[in-house]
Structure 1
Amino acid sequence: MKRRFVVMLGVPLAFAASRLTAETTPHVRIAAKRFEFHPNKVTVKLGQPVLLVLTSEDRIHGFKIPELGLRHEIVPGQETRVALTPRKAGRFTFFCDVFLRRRP
C-alpha cells in the first residue's frame, strides 16, 4: 500500500482518558481499500480531541503511524474508532501494514 500522510497540528497522540461523545468530538472518517486510504491526508487542530473512524471496503487492513506508536486493525463491516488529542505539531505518515500472501 502506498504511504499516505496525516498532517497534524499536534502529536504524539495522547489517548483520551474519558469517553468521547459523538456530540462533542469531531469525527474524521477514513476508508481503506486496496492500495489507498480516502482521504489520504488529514489535518487536525492542536489540543482538540478527534475521533478517527476507520472502515475497510474490501479486506483487513492495518492503520499505522510509527512515529506516534499508533497501530490498529480495520476489519470489513466494522468501524475501528481511535480517539486522540494532538499534543505536538508535525507531519506524520500513515499506511497499511497488513500484507497478505498469495496462495500457490
Structure 2
Amino acid sequence: MTAVDPDMQRRDLLASAATSVLAGLAAWTIAAPPGRVVTMVARKWTFVPATVQARKGEKLVFQLTAPEVPMGFSLPDFHARTDVVPGKAATLEVVPDRAGTFTFLCDVFCGEGHETMNGTLVVTG
C-alpha cells in the first residue's frame, strides 16, 4: 500500500478549488450584460437628454461629455457621481434597484444657471 502525502492532497484540493472559482468568475464575466449606453452631454445649464427611462435592475452606462466648462453628474439616490471635464469622456455605471422618479444634477458650480441644471431618471418596475 502507498502512503498518501497530506501536503500533496492539500495542494491538489486547493488547486482544484482555485480552478473552479476562476472558471466561475470567467463565466460570470462573460455572461454579465454590458449595459445600455446612455450618451449624455452636460451643457450650460442643461443635460441632454434631460430625461432617461430605465427598468429596475437594468444596467445603465452613462457616457458623459461637457464641451464648455467642467461639470459634475450626480445621481444621489443611487450614490453615483462623476466629474465631467471638457475634452474627456466620463463613464458611470448605475443599476437602479428600485422603481420611481429620481433627480440627477450637476454638482460642480458651472455658472449662473447651475442651480437649475438637473434631469430625471424614470425607473419602471
Over alpha carbons, which structure has the higher Rg? Answer: 2
SS in 2 for 1:67: helix
1:39-67 Cα offsets, whole Å, 9 max, x none, are 00001111121211111011100111222
User: Residues 36 and 60 from structure 1, CA distance in 2 versus in 1: closer, same or farther, beyond 3 angstroms?
Assistant: same
Asked if 1:62 is matched to 2:80, the reply is no
Highest relative contact order (Cα 8 Å, sep 6+), 1 or 2? 1
Deviation of 1:100 (Å):
5.1
SS in 1 for 2:77: helix
Task: Give the ranges of 4+ consecutive aligned residues of structure 1 lying more than 4 Å apart after TM superposition.
Answer: none
SS in 1 for 2:108: coil
TM-score by length of 2: 0.58
Equivalent position to 1:45, from 39, 55, 58: 55
Q: Distance in 1 between matches of 2:75 and 2:94?
A: 13
Q: Distance in 2 between matches of 1:35 and 1:92?
A: 19
Given that 2:35 and 2:60 are in contact with CA atoms closer than 8 Å, whether structure 1 keeps it comes out as yes
Given that 2:64 and 2:91 are in contact with CA atoms closer than 8 Å, whether structure 1 keeps it comes out as yes
Asked if 1:85 is matched to 2:95, the reply is yes
1:48-102 Cα offsets, whole Å, 9 max, x none, are 212111110111001112222222100111111111222111111111111157x
TM-score by length of 1: 0.68
User: Residues 32 and 47 from structure 1, CA distance in 2 versus in 1: closer, same or farther, beyond 3 angstroms?
Assistant: same
More helix by percentage: 2
Gaps of at least 5 residues in structure 1 are 1-17
The alignment yields a C-alpha RMSD, in angstroms, of 2.3
Look up the equivalent residue of 1:52 and give its one-letter code.
Answer: F
Percent identity of paired positions between Structure 1 and Structure 2:
30
